Amino acid sequence: MALYLGLDSSTQSLTGIVLEVEGDSTRVVFESSLAFDEAFPEYGTRHGVLPRSDPAVAVSSPPLWADALDAMMARVSHSGLDVGRLAAIAGSAQQHGSVYMNSRGGPSALSRLDPGLPPGEQVVHALSRPVAPIWMDSSTSTECAELAEGVGGAEALAQRTGSRAFERFTGPQIRKFFKDDPRTYAATDRIHLVSSFLASLLAGRHAPIDPGDGSGMNLMDLATSDWWPAALEATAPGLRAKLPAVAPAWTVAGSLSPYWQARHGLPAAKVVVWSGDNPCSLIGTGLVRTGLVAISLGTSDTIFGLMREPRVDRTGTGHVFGAPTGAYMGLTCFANGSLARERVRDSFGLSWPGFSQTLAATPPGNGGRVLLPWYVPEITPPVAAPGVRRYDLAIDDGPGHVRGVVEGQQMSLALHSRWMDTGIETILATGGAAANREILQVMADVFGAEVFQLEVGNSACLGAALRARQDLIPRRSSPVFGRGRGLPDV
């Protein structure tokens, strides 16, 4: 009976899931999560982000992610499972974030970590840039315009890479770093995504980037799944030599390095290439055929579905990514997801059960009260200057805000996913807030669709574990929410 480990390094937490496979049966035998802020207060993150005075800037800490990986490996090792049976590990990570390594971060340094010490303090020396910009960063509008101009316009960039230039995408972020600090850029030997950085740490050598996460960079040619020379040139000099190769999501990057074997008594399990959380979620929700969509209500809210052919969004809000199946996926991302819901919950002194009761007690349509919940700069639609917009909604109207935030978000999800043209009948809900049935009822109402909750809540992590097993079909869910009653047209 082989064991397969999936890991999900998200914005706020690290999750691990172990699958045990025996014949046709696959069972979850271990599931554990740790929140970065609570487990590692010494790094000073809030909701997984390092405090910065500029609201457009969002960075986090690669050594924190490394130490979290170490803590999760310790939990797996002490789980009571026979870890000698661990056959393979794969992972999922927040998309777009980038990690900058110097020449000391080369393969030999990665393979020669001291098993007596945690990894965080050791990888610090291998970083040319101590922090990693993450997907919540919106500070690169100038660089987006420069990149688009450099490749012949926004339309050309979208056709080739699957997306127009987006502030959080890795290409504009790399360009900004190169412009702000050209010497440190020159001293950077390798630029990883969060996914490929963590896979490299596990394998003790540089791991490739998969086409799913690679397509969140504005640098990869979707048709060839390789770097697009024009985009590299428009981003920063000598970039090709600093990037890992792109390789299919099922590639084996190596085996678990001696560091992890010695430190946690683990075997030389295969390390399968990591991918982004959304591509992994596509596998974890079982979206391996067209006509279904998933909505992930995590730190960000996303809506995504499988595409056989890349169909680029002409409105410029959505993205086409590579899917870990080798096909494509359409995705639209919203920055004001769970943290906006939390802001409303906290400002009216509610718990999640209180929030849910309030939602259930207010009428669909909210009696015409509307809230646009842009607490932080919004990706979709693009809103650079954050601020909450209220229409017919009094500032002290708690119930109106609770329903307003959820309906506003769901209507935005419905409106800005029309470009995918999938005729949404069935929605698979995942992410932390998918535990909330009242939120899912609003989703069903707004989309006029059936909504399923999944048995395993963290579909990105489950997808990673299934990818470790090289198996792409999870089992489907239990509760179903009735087809929604419908809301005023969106």
Binding site for ligand ADP (CB under 6 A): 10-13, 298-299, 338, 341-342, 352, 431-433, 435-436
As given in the structure block, the two tokens for residue 204 are: 């003790």
State in angstroms the smallest separation of the CB of 325 from ligand XUL.
Answer: 18
Instruction: Tell the burial category of 230 from Cβ atoms under 10 Å away from its Cβ (0-12, 13-18, 19+).
Output: middle
Instruction: Tell me which of ligand XUL, ligand ADP, none is bound by residue 276, counting a contact when its beta carbon lies within the kind-specific cut-off of 5 to 8 angstroms.
Output: ligand XUL
Residues 6+ apart with CB under 8 A from 139: 54, 56, 57, 167, 176
Q: Which two tokens stand for residue 60?
A: 């986090």
Q: Which does 12 bind (CB under 5 to 8 A by kind): ligand XUL, ligand ADP, none?
A: ligand ADP
Indicate which of ligand XUL, ligand ADP, none lies near residue 95 (CB less than 5 to 8 Å, by partner kind).
ligand XUL
- Smallest gap from Cβ 37 to ligand ADP, in A, equals 11
CB of 181 to ligand XUL, least distance (A): 24
Residue 302's binding partner out of ligand ADP, ligand XUL, none, with CB under 5 to 8 Å set by partner kind: ligand XUL
Distance CA 293, CA 424 (A): 7
Q: Which is nearer to ligand ADP, 35 or 109 (CB)?
A: 35
Judge contact between 58 and 49, C-beta under 8 A.
yes
For ligand XUL, the closer of residues 56 and 87 by Cβ is: 56
Find the residue with minimal CB distance to ligand XUL: 95
CA distances from 67 to 39, 43, 72, 95, 127 (A): 10, 10, 9, 19, 15
Interface residues toward ligand XUL, by CB under 6 A: 11, 94-96, 135, 168, 216, 276-278, 298-300, 302, 333
**Nearest approach, Cβ of residue 135 and ligand XUL (Å):** 4
- Which of ligand ADP, ligand XUL, none interacts with 96 (beta carbon under 5 to 8 A by kind)? ligand XUL
* C-alpha separations of 37 from 40, 64, 186, 452 in Å: 6, 10, 32, 31
371 vs 433, beta carbon nearer ligand ADP: 433
Rounded to a whole number of angstroms, the minimum distance from the CB of residue 261 to ligand XUL is 30
> 418: Cβ–Cβ under 8 A, 6 or more apart, which residues?
none
The least distance separating ligand ADP from the CB of residue 149, rounded to whole angstroms, comes to 33
Contact partner at residue 60 from ligand ADP, ligand XUL, none, CB < 5 to 8 Å by partner kind: none
Cβ proximity to ligand ADP: between 202 and 429 the closer is: 429
Cβ at position 176, least distance to ligand ADP in Å: 24
Q: Choose between 46 and 475: whose C-beta lies nearer to ligand ADP.
A: 46
Crossing angle between the packed helical segments 62-77 and 194-203, to the nearest 10 degrees: 50
Between 298 and 400, name the residue whose CB sits nearer to ligand ADP: 298
By beta carbon distance, the residue nearest ligand ADP is 432
Minimal distance, residue 355 CB to ligand ADP, in Å: 7
C-alpha radius of gyration, the chain, whole number: 21
285 interface partner picked from ligand ADP, ligand XUL, none, CB below 5 to 8 A per type: none
Closest CA to 462 of 200, 300, 201, 277: 277
Is residue 137 a contact partner of residue 50, using CB atoms and an 8 Å limit?
A: no
Q: How far apart are the first and last CA of the chain?
A: 50
Sequence length of the chain is 490
What, of ligand ADP, ligand XUL, none, does residue 333 touch, CB below 5 to 8 Å by kind? ligand XUL
- Strand 450-453 and strand 426-430: the pairing is parallel
435 binding partner (options ligand XUL, ligand ADP, none; Cβ < 5 to 8 Å by kind): ligand ADP
State the nearest-atom distance from the C-beta of 146 to ligand XUL, in Å.
Answer: 21
Of 285 and 441, the one with the shorter C-beta distance to ligand XUL is: 285
352 makes contact, choosing from ligand XUL, ligand ADP, none, with CB < 5 to 8 Å by partner type, with ligand ADP
Strand partners, 383: 378
CA distance 165 to 237: 18
CA distances, 157 to each of 75, 84, 137, 240 (Å)? 44, 47, 20, 18
288 is written with which tokens? 């391996």
Distance CA 49, CA 198 (A): 18
Q: What residue 13 binds from ligand ADP, ligand XUL, none (CB within 5 to 8 A, per partner kind)?
A: ligand ADP
By beta-carbon proximity to ligand XUL, the closer residue of 285 and 299 is 299
Closest contact distance (angstroms) between CB of 47 and ligand ADP is: 7
Q: At what angle do helices 398-415 and 352-361 cross, to 10 degrees?
A: 80
CB-nearer residue toward ligand ADP: 135 or 177: 135
Is residue 398 within 8 A of residue 366, CB to CB? The reply is: no
Nearest-approach distance from CB 234 to ligand ADP, in angstroms: 31
Nearer to ligand ADP, 352 or 419 (CB): 352
